[in-house]
Amino acid sequence: MTATDVVTAFIDHLNAMRMDDAFVLLADDIVYHNIPMKPVTGPAAVKAVFDQIPFTAVEFITHHSAEHDLTVLNERTDRFKLADGRWVELRVMGVFEVLDGKITAWRDYFDLGQWMAQLSPQ
């Protein structure tokens, strides 16, 4: 599997709400950094970040992707369906580092203000 194959499989699992299958592709010491927030380390910490969002469905839509060595860059729109039925979405630039078939680092760059504004009750 190429690094792109691993990242694509990870995103496909997320989109299908198969979180356990997705998190199997994370290295034990993964560093996940939602910039500008603080990074977290380990699959359980990544899961805790996802657990903070009350979503019932998710769509990570990859618009462009590039791979160099073991690093995958992708431009995405991440959409989350909230428990109240609303969809919130965010443009994201993602960076994934892959080693031995596992994602060892994941950084997402996005506009936190845009995200927070959408989470406000309507």
pLDDT tens profile 64-110: 999 999 999 999 999 999 988 999 999 999 999 999 999 999 999 99
Q: Name the one residue in this structure whose structure tokens are 């892959």.
A: 98
Q: CB of 94 within 8 A of CB of 74?
A: yes
Query: Any idea which residues carry the catalytic annotation?
Result: 78, 108
Q: Using CA atoms, how far apart are residues 106 and 25, in angstroms rounded to an integer? A: 12
The reported pLDDT for the residue numbered 91 is: 96
The reported pLDDT for the residue numbered 64 is: 97
Contacts of 17 (CB under 8 A, 6+ apart): 57, 58
Q: Are strands 87-99 and 55-68 parallel, antiparallel or unpaired?
A: unpaired
Q: How confident is the model over 41-62, as a mean pLDDT?
A: 95
* Residue boundaries of the structural domains of the chain: 3-119
Q: Which segments of 16-60 does DSSP mark as H helices, in order?
A: 19-23, 43-51
Residue 53 has pLDDT above 90, yes or no: no
Q: Using CA atoms, how far apart are residues 84 and 64, in angstroms rounded to an integer? A: 30
What's the pLDDT band for 122 if we cut at 50, 70, 90? low
State the pTM of this model: 0.93
Residue 120 has pLDDT above 80, yes or no: no
Please state which architecture CATH assigns to domain 3-119.
Roll (3.10)
